[in-house]
Amino acid sequence: MKRLVYSLVLFTSLGCKADNWHDPRMVYGFDNIEPSANLTWTSCFDNFTCSRLEVPLDYSNRSLGTTSIAFIKLASKNATVNSPSIVLVPGGPGASGVDLLLGQSSTTGQIFGEQYNVISFDPRGVNNSGPRLDCFSGSTEARLTFNRLHRTGATNISSTSLEEQYYSSSIYGEWCNDAAENQSPHGYYVTTPAVAHDLLTFVEAEAELAGQSPSDARLWCYGISYGTVIGTTFASMFPDRVGRMILDGVLDAEQYYDNDWRDNVDQMDETIEMFSSFCHSAGPETCSFWGPTPADITARMDCIIDQLQNHPVALSGVQSRNLPELVTYSDLKALFINATYAPLASFPDMADILHQLEHGNVSSLRGKFIGQDITSDARLVIQCADSYRRNRLTTIEEFRSYVEYTTSKSKYIGDIYPIFLETILCRSFRPQLPDSMVVQDPINGPQRPTSFPILFASNTIDPITPLVSARKMSSRFPGSILLLQEAVGKFINRNSLPFCRPRLHSYFDSGYISPKTTRTTASGRSQKVTKPTMTTPSTNAAGEPFNLKKIWTNSRYQLKVMATRDVEADTQYMDAFEVAGMPAIAVDKI
Ligand SMILES: *[C@@H]1O[C@H](CO)[C@@H](O)[C@H](O)[C@H]1NC(C)=O
Ligand SMILES: *[C@@H]1O[C@H](CO)[C@@H](O)[C@H](O)[C@H]1NC(C)=O
Ligand SMILES: *[C@@H]1O[C@H](CO)[C@@H](O)[C@H](O)[C@H]1NC(C)=O
Ligand SMILES: *[C@@H]1O[C@H](CO)[C@@H](O)[C@H](O)[C@H]1NC(C)=O
Ligand SMILES: *[C@@H]1O[C@H](CO)[C@@H](O)[C@H](O)[C@H]1NC(C)=O
Ligand SMILES: *[C@@H]1O[C@H](CO)[C@@H](O)[C@H](O)[C@H]1NC(C)=O
Ligand SMILES: *[C@@H]1O[C@H](CO)[C@@H](O)[C@H](O)[C@H]1NC(C)=O
Ligand SMILES: *[C@@H]1O[C@H](CO)[C@@H](O)[C@H](O)[C@H]1NC(C)=O
């Protein structure tokens, strides 16, 4: 008895919900949740509720049956029945939104405001959502063997590597087709247009649950990376159902559906060049690969690349009793490509590794290339099903020309990117999907403006989802806004939480983006920024008031990233807004 009282006091004092502890229905996964066509939430993972929403496999042919989509919800601290929900749309393809929200739950209130419930989901084919496809049907040996045959290194590493990679790529599709035929007959029913429709089903089910009219329900969402393709697809299919939509780290949806990931290499070298400049400004105490000029740092880096290309390093393992290994040029390239995913966070480690390499120690590059082997098929299954019929990468000539393009565009990453991305593996997929499952038109945006303007967001240097893609997608959606931030990396939010927060809040709250009227100069003084004023239409096509102010703003912080290693607090910002259909103005001139 005493013990029980003690534990209750303990839970109360820690702020845990004691009743949850005893809740026999609390689940820590989705297996024990019954799929349902209406939205039924079950307590899960201590602080969340989970649901498996039953949706038709094919919205235009319901006789094919259903599958279920895993949703997870973090109720806002200030929730009311009418609190809007913001859906976090995960990247990939193949990334789990459930994992994303579980990992981000402590920051969502700060990012979006405490008055919004935050929801995420596993898109079709991913983790807790059906239908699932394991191309190698559990055979780890077949998967490993395929990886060894196909992943021979940077595509341009030898005079035969391109052919080896091209001809071996057919194996993958053959295994996937066989698994789809024999084990998961609807394994290819995971295309993005269907995912967009699932989101509509979700917001309608949510409205129904709240006693509102499903046909008026609108999607409020924040999409990142590939999640922006889900966003633009949704906005094209259901332009009147856009409530709020922020698309951050924008992927060119047209190139995505064509399996022609071309613009992605646009800013990769610029990013790697930023490494040299950041390292130099950080100083010798902080950047272990420091040099007297950025050009010196770049030259030493280039020298290491050349050396490893001509002289892979053998690690026999005799002394350490480790397995033998060969550290190659491709391992170094894998380091670069990995760094581009979170440049500011990875640069200090990259400096350490380059410093060790310069002193003849290659051990930290060991296994870097193999570490990027394909271990889960969700990404490629979605990507290849989506580009089925439009695939621009099927013949060896197309592959060669693609590799020539990427290598000519990016000295550092162009030759490793094709084998990293593996778009060539789509060429032997035979999804046999009906028209209703695949995107029919280019993503040109709807004929009329969306019911609420989309906010696209991009850093000025984004190594994976470059600014050029954000500009292009924004131009396809009349009335949309592009928020630019002078920073290096993917996602405006990760780099600059304190800065972006007010912008994101005001977009969600009122659709109004507050102008910043001062900027901090290099000397730390505040300076007034003059804002060009524009005429703004007062309502959109749906008759709603337009609150978005077409204003360019500009603010600058000092760059101390390498010096403090504090990515969130110190980064350089310059933001500007562009409105689709208006000429961009050079932000520097403001
Ligand atoms: C799948 O979901 C479970 C539970 O939600 C999680 O533990 C696991 O890490 C997820 N796996 C992947 C590959 O995302
Ligand atoms: C939701 O669906 C389940 C079965 O699919 C049903 O038992 C339940 O009554 C439904 N709830 C509502 C509120 O319609
Ligand atoms: C639930 O919330 C508590 C208190 O905010 C936190 O300590 C805990 O890590 C959270 N659990 C999960 C699974 O997020
Ligand atoms: C719907 O699917 C069933 C089962 O695969 C198929 O026989 C039927 O022809 C399909 N109907 C349409 C209209 O595509
Ligand atoms: C919750 O709402 C109340 C009343 O609207 C407000 O005063 C309070 O600051 C809100 N709390 C948070 C954490 O947003
Ligand atoms: C690599 O690509 C470049 C540029 O396309 C080309 O000139 C070179 O010959 C290629 N190298 C090999 C080994 O194929
Ligand atoms: C080589 O680098 C590794 C990894 O950073 C480190 O653990 C090791 O001590 C280094 N070896 C020498 C001889 O400096
Ligand atoms: C890639 O970088 C991340 C940190 O950004 C690190 O956690 C991960 O282990 C790296 N992966 C490889 C294969 O080096």
Specify the pLDDT at position 445.
65
- As given in the structure block, the two tokens for residue 368 are 């870097």
Is the predicted pLDDT of residue 546 greater than 90, yes or no? no
> Whose CA is closest to atom 3 on ligand 2?
36
The residue count for the chain: 590
Which of the four pLDDT bands, split at 50, 70 and 90, describes residue 13? very low
| Residue to mutate, 78, 111, 112, ligand 5, most ligand atoms under 8 Å from C-beta | 78
77 class by beta-carbon count within 10 Å (0-12 exposed, 13-18 middle, 19+ buried):
exposed
User: What is the end-to-end Cα distance of the chain in Å, rounded?
Assistant: 71
Which of the four pLDDT bands, split at 50, 70 and 90, describes residue 575? very low
- Segment 79-93 mean pLDDT: 88
Which of the four pLDDT bands, split at 50, 70 and 90, describes residue 287? confident
- Segment 196-203 mean pLDDT: 98
Rg of the chain on CA atoms, in Å? 25
Q: Ligand 1 mean position to 515 CA, how many Å?
A: 41
- Integer Cα distance of 97 and 398 in angstroms: 34
The order of strands in the sheet holding 575-579 is: 42-44, 48-56, 66-74, 117-121, 85-89, 219-224, 242-248, 455-461, 481-488, 575-579
Which of the four pLDDT bands, split at 50, 70 and 90, describes residue 280? confident
- Closest ligand by atom to 405 CA: 6
**What is the pLDDT of the chain when averaged over all its residues?**
81
> Whose CA is closest to atom 11 on ligand 6?
156
- Integer Cα distance of 312 and 307 in angstroms: 8
**Atom nearest to 78 CA in ligand 5:** 1
- Integer Cα distance of 438 and 385 in angstroms: 8
- Integer Cα distance of 121 and 337 in angstroms: 27
Ligand 8 in reach of 370 Cβ (< 6 A):
no
- As given in the structure block, the two tokens for residue 99 are 């994992």
**Where on the phi/psi map is residue 534: left (φ > 0), alpha (ψ -120 to 50), or beta?**
beta
Q: What percent of the chain has pLDDT over 90?
A: 58
Residue of higher predicted confidence among 335 and 570:
335
Ligand 4 in reach of 61 Cβ (< 6 A):
yes
**Atom nearest to 77 CA in ligand 5:** 13
Give DSSP secondary structure letters for 235-292: HHH-GGGEEEEEEES---HHHHHTT---GGGTTHHHHHHHHHHHHHHH-TTT-TT--S
**Atom nearest to 162 CA in ligand 6:** 14
Q: Which amino acid is at 318?
A: V
Q: Using one digit for the tens of pLDDT, what is the confidence trace for 351-383? A: 999 999 999 999 999 999 998 888 899 999 999
Is the predicted pLDDT of residue 223 greater than 50, yes or no? yes
Q: Ligand 2 mean position to 39 CA, how many Å?
A: 8
Grouping H, G, I as helix, E, B as strand and the rest as coil, residue 334 is: helix
- Segment 156-180 mean pLDDT: 95
Q: Which amino acid is at 256?
A: Y
Q: Where are the beta strands (DSSP E) in 75-229?
A: 85-89, 117-121, 219-224
Q: Ligand 8 mean position to 438 CA, how many Å?
A: 34
- Integer Cα distance of 221 and 246 in angstroms: 6
Is the predicted pLDDT of residue 519 greater than 60, yes or no? no
Q: Ligand 8 mean position to 276 CA, how many Å?
A: 20
What secondary structure letter does DSSP report for 27?
Answer: B
Q: Using one digit for the tens of pLDDT, what is the confidence trace for 95-110? A: 999 999 998 888 787 7
Which of the four pLDDT bands, split at 50, 70 and 90, describes residue 329? very high
> Whose CA is closest to atom 8 on ligand 5?
78
Is the predicted pLDDT of residue 80 greater than 60, yes or no? yes
Cβ–Cβ < 8 Å for 67, 57: yes
- Show Cβ contacts of residue 80 under 8 Å, excluding neighbours closer than 6 positions: none
172 class by beta-carbon count within 10 Å (0-12 exposed, 13-18 middle, 19+ buried):
buried
- Closest ligand by atom to 114 CA: 5
What secondary structure letter does DSSP report for 432?
Answer: -
Residue of higher predicted confidence among 531 and 401:
401
Q: Using one digit for the tens of pLDDT, what is the confidence trace for 412-453? A: 999 999 999 999 999 999 999 999 999 987 677 667 788 888
Q: Which residue, 199, 202, 188, 209, is CA-closest to 64?
A: 188
- Show Cβ contacts of residue 86 under 8 Å, excluding neighbours closer than 6 positions: 112, 116, 117, 118, 119, 220, 221, 222, 244, 508
Residue of higher predicted confidence among 472 and 545:
472
Q: Ligand 4 mean position to 365 CA, how many Å?
A: 52
Is the predicted pLDDT of residue 8 greater than 50, yes or no? no
Is the predicted pLDDT of residue 589 greater than 70, yes or no? no
- Closest ligand by atom to 404 CA: 6
| Residue to mutate, 363, 366, 368, ligand 7, most ligand atoms under 8 Å from C-beta | 363
Cβ–Cβ < 8 Å for 74, 48: yes
Is the predicted pLDDT of residue 521 greater than 70, yes or no? no
Measured from CB, residues less than 6 Å from any atom of ligand 5 are: 77-78, 114
Specify the pLDDT at position 456.
86
Measured from CB, residues less than 6 Å from any atom of ligand 3 are: 45-47, 105
Q: Ligand 7 mean position to 507 CA, how many Å?
A: 49
Grouping H, G, I as helix, E, B as strand and the rest as coil, residue 162 is: helix
Cα–Cα distances in Å, from 176 out to 144, 226, 580? 15, 22, 41
- Integer Cα distance of 570 and 560 in angstroms: 6
Ligand 8 in reach of 371 Cβ (< 6 A):
yes
- Integer Cα distance of 13 and 101 in angstroms: 26
**Atom nearest to 361 CA in ligand 7:** 1
Which of the four pLDDT bands, split at 50, 70 and 90, describes residue 398? very high
Omega before residue 312 within 30° of 0, cis:
no
Specify the pLDDT at position 322.
86
Lowest mean pLDDT among 250-259, 395-404, 413-422, 501-510: 501-510
**Atom nearest to 359 CA in ligand 7:** 14
Specify the pLDDT at position 500.
56
> Whose CA is closest to atom 12 on ligand 7?
361
- Segment 162-188 mean pLDDT: 96
Q: Which residue, 103, 82, 88, is CA-closest to 504?
A: 88
Grouping H, G, I as helix, E, B as strand and the rest as coil, residue 502 is: helix
In sequence order, which ranges of 327-423 are alpha helices (DSSP H)? 329-341, 343-358, 378-387, 396-409, 417-421
Which of the four pLDDT bands, split at 50, 70 and 90, describes residue 569? very low
Specify the pLDDT at position 195.
98
- Integer Cα distance of 129 and 146 in angstroms: 26
Q: Phi and psi of 2, rounded to 5°?
A: -55, -40
Question: What residue segments make up the domains of the chain, in order of their start?
Answer: 140-183+373-434, 268-371
| Residue to mutate, 107, 111, 114, ligand 5, most ligand atoms under 8 Å from C-beta | 114
Cβ–Cβ < 8 Å for 534, 550: yes
Among all chains, which residue has been given the structure tokens 């609108």?
218
Q: Using one digit for the tens of pLDDT, what is the confidence trace for 226-278? A: 999 999 999 999 999 999 999 999 999 999 999 999 999 999 999 898 889 88
Give DSSP secondary structure letters for 32-45: TSPPBSS---EEET
221 class by beta-carbon count within 10 Å (0-12 exposed, 13-18 middle, 19+ buried):
buried
- As given in the structure block, the two tokens for residue 406 are 């990427």
Specify the pLDDT at position 492.
64
Most distant pair of Cα atoms in the chain: their distance? 77
Specify the pLDDT at position 372.
87
> Bridge partners of 560?
none
- Show Cβ contacts of residue 41 under 8 Å, excluding neighbours closer than 6 positions: 49, 50, 51, 73
Number of Cβ within a 10 Å radius of residue 24: 6
| Residue to mutate, 333, 407, 417, 419, ligand 6, most ligand atoms under 8 Å from C-beta | 407
**Where on the phi/psi map is residue 431: left (φ > 0), alpha (ψ -120 to 50), or beta?**
alpha
Cα–Cα distances in Å, from 92 out to 225, 372, 452, 555? 7, 14, 26, 31
Q: Ligand 6 mean position to 574 CA, how many Å?
A: 38
**Atom nearest to 102 CA in ligand 3:** 14
> Bridge partners of 42?
50
